[in-house]
Structure 1
Amino acid sequence: MDTTQLLKGVLDLAVLAVLKEEDGYGYDIMRRLRTAGLDEVGDASVYGTLRRLYQAGLLTTYVVPSESGPNRKYYSLNAAGRDHLTRSGKVWRSFATTMDMLLDDRGRAA
């Protein structure tokens, strides 16, 4: 199964989840997503998602000087982002439970 389309649908949630415990800059967030198992996530997708989440008011940013290159723009969850993550997480868990039931034949009508 091609996971590209699935990933597009849940990338916002994945990025918010990665930022739940610790702020991060673009490349760091991408690395954390890949380490978690989302190997197919693309650079442009992550950066576009970060911009969209920021513009939606779910993230805040700040700049940290870097000794080894250009300054890094860090992203962090704000209160609206945490609320959105909580709500989206509930929707995802409900959806995943339904899919698990369907795949395990427990959702078959009698």
Structure 2
Amino acid sequence: MPRNSASRDLFPGALEMMILQSLRQRPMHGYALVKHIQQVSDDLLQIEEGSLYPALQRMLREGWLECETGISAKNRPTRIYRLTDTGLRHLEQEISSFERMFAGITRVLAISQA
């Protein structure tokens, strides 16, 4: 089945970078993360639970996040994720790497349009 060209997969590390940046603002549970990324991106990015929760588990194992049990707005138990100092350092490295990559892509695209 042909892919919708308006809907693209994220590049490796993009989901983790967005999660870390979102949690830099405040601790959140998984559903709040999905909604936050969707809202901030003006609905351009839709994060599926099937991608989110495995990413959160990887990030917990890496020590980039920690979590605690909390209560959701619907009065249900939930895991609240928080950025660690290690996660903040990793985020800053990833942002720097992304900015270099984006600058290179921008230069190539500028030449192609000339």
TM over 0.5: yes
Q: Who is 2:27 aligned against? A: 23
Runs of at least 5 residues in structure 2 that lack an aligned partner in the other structure: none
Task: Give runs of ≥4 in structure 1 deviating > 4 Å.
Answer: none
- The letter of the residue matching 1:26 is G
How many pairs were matched up? 106
- What's the CA shift for 1:58? 0.6
TM (normalized to structure 1)?
Answer: 0.85
2:11 matched to 1:3?
A: no
CA distance in 2, matches of 1:83, 1:73: 23
Q: Tell me the amino acid that sits aligned with residue 24 of structure 1.
A: M
Instruction: Name the SS of the counterpart of 1:30 in structure 2.
Output: helix
Cα 1:89–1:61 change in 2 (3 A) is same
What is the CA distance between 1:42 and its match in structure 2? 1.1
Q: Among the aligned pairs, what percent are the same residue?
A: 20
Is the 8 Å Cα contact of residues 7 and 41 (structure 1) preserved in structure 2? no
Aligned Cα RMSD in Å? 2.0
In structure 1, runs of 5+ residues without a counterpart are: none
The aligned amino acid for 2:52 is V
